[in-house]
Amino acid sequence: MPGGVKFAVLGFQEILPALSIDDQEGSVLNGFTLTGVSYQSPSLSLTSKSLSLDINAKCLLTLVLCIDGFIAEDMVVTVSEIESSPEEDTPFDLAPITEISTPVPLFLSNIVLNNITFNILGTKVYWDSLITAAQMQQSTLTLKHTEWKGINVELAPSEVDSEDKETYVTTLNKESSQEAFTLPDVNIPFNLVIEHFEVIEADFFLPEKQTIHQFLLQGHGFGNDVSLEQVVLDAEQGKVTLKGDISLKGEYPLILEGDASISMAPLGSHTLKFDAKGDLKKLDVVAKLKGTLFATLSGHMNVLDPDMPFSLMLTSKSLQWPINASAEYRLISTALCVNGSLADYHATLNTSVMGEMIPNIKLSMDLFGNLSKVSLTNIKLDTLDGYIAGSANISWINEVKWQTSLNFNHIQPGMKWPVAAGQFSGKLKHSGQLTSQGGWQVDVDAVDIQGKLYDQELTLVGQVDVSDIQGEGNVTLKTTGLWLRHGPNMIVVAGRTDKELKLDLTLDLSSLAVAVPQAAGSIKGNVILAGTLKAPTASLNLRALALHWDELVSVSSAKIRGSVSLLPIISGSFIIDVEGVKAKGIDVSTLLLKISGNEYHHSVSLNVNGQPVSANVAIRGSLDRKKGWKGTLYDSKITTPVGPWVLQNDVSIFVDFDSRVVDIETFCWTQHKSYICLDKPANISEKGEVEFTVVNFNLDSLQFYLPITTTIQGEMDAHANVSWKPNTLPTANVSVSMLKGQVTELLDEPLTIGWNKIQLNAVLVDEKLSVDFMLDIINNGSLSLNIEMNNLSNKKHTLKSTFFLNALNLDVLAPLLGEGTRLGGQLNGNVVLNGALNAPTANGSINFTGLKLQSYTMPVKVHKGQISLYLAGYKGQLNGEIKTPDGTVTLTGQADWTKFNEWLASLKITSERLKVVASPMVALEVNPDLTLTANPKQIDIMGTINVPWGRIVVKELPEIAVQISSDIVILDDELKSINKRKRSPMTIHAEIDVNISNDVRLEAFGLKTMLEGQLSMVSNKKGPVINGKINLKEGTYRSFGQDLLIKKGQILFNGPPLQPYLQIEAIRNPDNIIDRIEAGIRVHGPANKPEIWVFSDPAMPLANAVSYLVRGIALDSASDRQAIVSMLMNLSLLESGPLVSQLGDVFGVQDLMFDISGIGKAEKVEVSGYILPKLRVKYGMVIFTHSPEFTVRYQLLKNLYVEVMSGASSAVDLLYQFNIK
């Protein structure tokens, strides 16, 4: 061990006996380390695990002092007291030091202080590490890169008592001016350069914790001048950056600029940019706030003057509250100008206030004040097409006091709230203060409001004083009278509530509709508060007539009367008598509620007569304010749509106030053989248990809730036990059983499903739910279901379920498909679900065998069929074969739900020959080859349908063939439109090719033809579209009394299916026309509005063309023209016959028809019909002479008629009709 260090240590210990060092190593010039260093004195304690000093001896040869390292580890310094130095008898002045320089350069590096603790008079400072370096050459001191980490500062407890604090506050509130501050000139005697000084994570307990995440300083200074190159302060409240220059002499001239990112509420996410120029006697400042709030503060101030004279202006285009949420209130175009000093300032404010819950307000005012009071003058709020003007004074030098005076001028609340249309003016004066005892007092000296509301006079006048002087909740109220009158309605309050109570509230609301447009009726009466604070009493007497609220509820009459005393015990009686309550689904003829007694013995009775529920309920009880309430429910009966239920026994009820527990004894409600019982006493609170039983409940009782076409028979038994406790799922055990019964739906053929037994069992325990369900159908199979769910309180629920179908015959469902339907088939299946609830696996199969179907409403007859569904994990397979009299349909499908939200399914339908009879008019043979695919977003239908054979015979258009007009609105039972249906979240996309072969025949309205063609059907979000054409082959068209040959015929599709385009040319048979003339008709255009004209080749006048078309020869004379007219009349009437018949049905005339009779000039048009079952009336008009004829025929016997005719000639005939076979 080198002797130099050891000798030095022994020397120091000799001089300082309080110093001890456990060990030392190294040498003075090559570096040494002291361990176990300790110094103890009455006022100072120092311990350190180790101290190391490394002096570079080589530097000494060049006259430079180099310390390459100084390391202190685990140092603790405690200063318990500071000795005061004796006062000097003769003070002397120290001359200022203007410059410091060192003759020898000094270099310090690797200065490390780790785990250092200072305790100075109770103020504790600790840091994890301080690493720094520095150097000084001549008069330049440079602080190198410095990092100070993990600082913790805790101030010593304050000893300032409350009296000192009051003295301090009083001093601040003094208005007397003091002399301006004089700043000393500060001289830095060397050139100071701070390259990088950084504090990282510092906690200050002041006493509240304040955390600084980073403090960074870079700059330099010399003499009076300081330059801040970069200052960064990052704390919990935000981050500030600053740079600038300042001169530490005179008034400290400076130039500063900075930015701040604010993190503290409510200004989080805001930024602040600020600039300061000038000196502290006249400091010009500009600050701009950006975020949801935008504001600019500019002006100047004198911070050296104790009264701080200033001139500031705050402007903002937009301010809002709440600041960082959707704005409920906004200030627009705000300008606040403040001039003066803390001892005497004047301000003006102009702004506009907006908000969803308030009307728009334009606000302006002047403020005058100091540190002890403020006066608001020239207050003006322009709002609701009027304004509010006034003034206010607030002072707080001894106690907080205020006085306000407001005048309302033509305020129109209907501008914001249309339901409150009107206007009012008036005045309001009030004053108040916070008392020294901790209470408050508010005196409304005068309120006088006059105006109109809903075109009725509105008046509010009076005076009221309210106070709680001691702040103990003993609120007193005094008023000589407060009157509110609106039209015929009036409310008056008068009296006082202090030591003696005498307060009257009088209601005279003769017309509620005047005050509340949705309401109607009247309420009159009074409420009287009397007695003393120790024994107050209140009496109530109100009556109401013809109450309504819109169309929702109405009350014929209501009376409330009674009185109550709250102290020393609660006692009194009340009667509520209501008649004629009507609401949606509720009709109460009378309701009578009586409450009487005191808190020790009281009773309650409720009698309700009405629909759907009537009740007679009686309760007696007693109250112990410390323990709780104890009562008994007795003599009670409830009449419901499912019958009357009578309480069989008295029920004890106890409410424990301390434990917040309700105890209910056992009870039973009975109805004939049925009863519902609480099996054992229930204890209801945060935890508890109930157990109840239902026996012989008649399912007929549910008929009230079922559709009129549905009936149900049977009985139900049930038992349930439910318990619960905090912070966990309840426990439950429920069983429901129904023995033999049935449900019937009245269709064309009644649908009845009966059961031998229905059983449901459910158990919830230990976050596990188990459900068993079984349905045994009479003369049929059965269905059973088992479900187990685990981890119910966890988001990852698991499921295990088994589903059985056993020999379910479907013939019972035949009535659903219409009268005369024969349905056969049997369902069997076994499916197991297992795994996560949101994505379980499925395994098993469902088989549908022996399928048979024959129905007038179904286009296909099924002689035999079977469909099987196989499930394996996340995939499924469907196979099916359906046999019809003419062919077999094959079904093949797959499904995959490996990704539950991206499931995929497909189905392929094929058949070589399938006869489809859509109606008596349509019979087709089709060969479908279709593929359906589906996912959560879309269904695709792709494939081909071949139609090799078909017979279509249309005698009349069915009703569904007439499209409903677009302007018709269809309403449901509740008169709501059902035209606008919600779109399905899945879109349907179809691409189907239809090939029509040459053996498809159409007969419709005179058209007989074979069809052949190809159609391409596409359907998407925009609707169905058909492209293609159908050719008319070997066809004839019955028109103009002829079977015209279709020479050319096409039906073209290029758009919506209901908008085909017709191109048809039909001619008279060339074998039945002379002169080799070709005559016919052409039909071109949309099917709903085609153009039809007669043509001939060669071309000729229309009359001749019609003659060739109808007769096959040309016109020769006037008689020919009459014949043409006759034929056209016949043809027109023939084609309009069905329409005429329907028109007759509308007017109650049976078999109404038009007809043509007669020959040549005697030809006439006739209309006839039956106005009674045996009375026929006919009216005719001769076409060429316009002579009328009227005929009445009456049936006497089966074939015997009497007929009377009047016209050009009159006759009475007796007719007998017979047939010769």
- Local confidence band at 1153 (pLDDT 50, 70, 90 cut-offs): low
List of residues 6+ apart from 962 with CB closer than 8 A: none
Q: Which residue has the tokens 């702004």?
A: 351
- Record the tokens describing residue 573, joined without a space: 């009686």
**Of 1145, 1109, 1153, which Cα lies nearest the Cα of 1127?**
1109
List of residues 6+ apart from 614 with CB closer than 8 A: 608, 638, 639
- Residue 164 pLDDT greater than 70, yes or no: no
- Mean pLDDT over 147-175 rounds to 64
At 158 the pLDDT is 64
What phi and psi values does residue 122 have, to the nearest 5 degrees?
Answer: 95, -15
Query: Does residue 1165 sit within a domain?
Result: yes
At 591 the pLDDT is 94
At 751 the pLDDT is 84
Q: Residue 1213 is part of which domain span?
A: 1131-1221
**Of 972, 992, 988, which Cα lies nearest the Cα of 980?**
972
**Of 1115, 1127, 1070, 1121, which Cα lies nearest the Cα of 1097?**
1070
At 100 the pLDDT is 86
- Mean pLDDT over 71-87 rounds to 78
- Local confidence band at 1024 (pLDDT 50, 70, 90 cut-offs): confident
- Mean pLDDT over 342-362 rounds to 93
- Local confidence band at 585 (pLDDT 50, 70, 90 cut-offs): confident
Determine if residue 18 is left, alpha or beta; phi over 0 gives left, psi from -120 to 50 gives alpha, anything else beta. alpha
Contact of 1153 with 1178, CB cutoff 8 Å:
no
At 1131 the pLDDT is 46
Convert the pLDDT of each residue in 305-316 to its tens digit. 888 999 999 999
At 1156 the pLDDT is 58
- Residue 1128 pLDDT greater than 60, yes or no: no
Lowest mean pLDDT: which of 134-148, 464-478, 614-628, 984-998?
A: 984-998
Sign of the C-alpha dihedral computed for residues 958, 960, 963 and 965 taken in this order: positive
- Mean pLDDT over 463-488 rounds to 88
- Residue 1132 pLDDT greater than 80, yes or no: no
List of residues 6+ apart from 777 with CB closer than 8 A: 753, 754, 755, 756, 783, 808, 812
Q: Where are the beta strands (DSSP E) in 139-253?
A: 140-143, 146-154, 188-205, 209-223, 225-235, 238-247
Listed as own residue / partner, the contacts of 1057-1062 with beta carbons closer than 8 Å and 24 or more positions apart are: 1057/1017, 1057/1024, 1057/1025, 1057/1026, 1058/963, 1058/1088, 1059/1086, 1059/1087, 1059/1088, 1060/1026, 1060/1086, 1060/1087, 1061/1085, 1061/1086, 1061/1087, 1062/1086, 1062/1087, 1062/1090
| Residue at which a domain ends, from 219, 249, 279 | 249
What is the rounded distance in angstroms from the CA atom of residue 555 to the CA atom of residue 872?
A: 64
Q: How many CB atoms lie within 10 A of CB 212?
A: 17
**Burial category of 548 from C-beta neighbours within 10 Å (exposed 0-12, middle 13-18, buried 19 and up):** middle
Query: Does residue 145 sit within a domain?
Result: yes
- Residue 1 pLDDT greater than 50, yes or no: no
With a pLDDT cut of 70, the percent of the chain lying above it is 88
Lowest mean pLDDT: which of 94-98, 359-363, 654-658, 986-990?
A: 94-98
Convert the pLDDT of each residue in 733-780 to its tens digit. 999 999 899 999 888 788 888 999 999 999 999 888 999 999 999 988
Q: How many CB atoms lie within 10 A of CB 365?
A: 19
What is the rounded distance in angstroms from the CA atom of residue 448 to the CA atom of residue 432?
A: 19
Contact of 478 with 498, CB cutoff 8 Å:
yes
- Local confidence band at 11 (pLDDT 50, 70, 90 cut-offs): low
- Mean pLDDT over 825-832 rounds to 91
What is the rounded distance in angstroms from the CA atom of residue 552 to the CA atom of residue 519?
A: 10
pTM of the model: 0.57
At 1134 the pLDDT is 44
**Burial category of 564 from C-beta neighbours within 10 Å (exposed 0-12, middle 13-18, buried 19 and up):** middle
Contact of 1094 with 1066, CB cutoff 8 Å:
no
- Local confidence band at 1136 (pLDDT 50, 70, 90 cut-offs): very low
**Of 914, 916, 945, 909, which Cα lies nearest the Cα of 1017?**
945
- H-helix segments, 427-536: 512-515
Q: How many CB atoms lie within 10 A of CB 727?
A: 6
Q: Which residue has the tokens 């048009």?
A: 1165
Query: Does residue 865 sit within a domain?
Result: no
Query: Does residue 937 sit within a domain?
Result: no
At 169 the pLDDT is 43
**Of 420, 419, 488, which Cα lies nearest the Cα of 459?**
488
Contact of 575 with 593, CB cutoff 8 Å:
yes
Convert the pLDDT of each residue in 317-341 to its tens digit. 989 988 888 888 999 999 999 999 9
List of residues 6+ apart from 20 with CB closer than 8 A: 13, 36, 37, 38, 39
Contact of 351 with 331, CB cutoff 8 Å:
yes
Query: Does residue 934 sit within a domain?
Result: no
Query: Average pLDDT, whole number, for the chain?
Result: 84
HSE value, Cβ hemisphere, 13 Å, CA-based, for 153: 11
CA-CA-CA-CA dihedral for 1145, 1148, 1154, 1157, to nearest 10: 140
With a pLDDT cut of 90, the percent of the chain lying above it is 40
| Residue at which a domain ends, from 194, 229, 249 | 249
Convert the pLDDT of each residue in 508-557 to its tens digit. 999 888 888 888 999 999 999 988 877 889 999 999 999 998 888 999 99
- Mean pLDDT over 161-187 rounds to 58
**Of 775, 778, 773, which Cα lies nearest the Cα of 752?**
778
Query: Does residue 239 sit within a domain?
Result: yes
Convert the pLDDT of each residue in 962-988 to its tens digit. 455 555 555 554 455 555 444 556 688
Find the largest Cα–Cα distance for the chain: 168
Give the residue, 1216 or 276, on which the prediction is more confident. 276
H or E segment at 1146?
A: helix 1118-1146
H or E segment at 169?
A: helix 162-173
| Residue at which a domain ends, from 249, 264, 287 | 249
**Of 1083, 1044, 1089, 1032, which Cα lies nearest the Cα of 1062?**
1083
**Of 371, 398, 393, which Cα lies nearest the Cα of 173?**
371
Lowest mean pLDDT: which of 135-139, 187-191, 495-499, 761-765?
A: 495-499
Convert the pLDDT of each residue in 590-639 to its tens digit. 999 999 999 899 999 999 999 888 999 999 999 988 889 999 999 999 98
- Between the CA of residue 450 and those of 219, 337, 446, what are the distances in Å? 70, 36, 13
- Between the CA of residue 164 and those of 157, 168, 747, 896, what are the distances in Å? 15, 6, 95, 82
Q: How many CB atoms lie within 10 A of CB 90?
A: 4
At 1148 the pLDDT is 54
At 271 the pLDDT is 93
- Record the tokens describing residue 1064, joined without a space: 């048809």
Convert the pLDDT of each residue in 681-722 to its tens digit. 998 888 888 999 999 988 888 877 888 888 898 999 999 999
Query: Does residue 1125 sit within a domain?
Result: no
Contact of 1094 with 1109, CB cutoff 8 Å:
yes
Q: Report how many domains make up the chain.
A: 2
- Mean pLDDT over 1108-1132 rounds to 60
At 1158 the pLDDT is 60
Give the residue, 786 or 454, on which the prediction is more confident. 786
Query: Does residue 692 sit within a domain?
Result: no
- Residue 165 pLDDT greater than 70, yes or no: no
- Mean pLDDT over 85-89 rounds to 50
- Residue 30 pLDDT greater than 80, yes or no: no
Convert the pLDDT of each residue in 203-239 to its tens digit. 998 878 899 999 999 999 998 999 999 999 999 889 9
Convert the pLDDT of each residue in 229-272 to its tens digit. 999 999 988 999 999 999 999 899 999 999 999 988 888 889 99
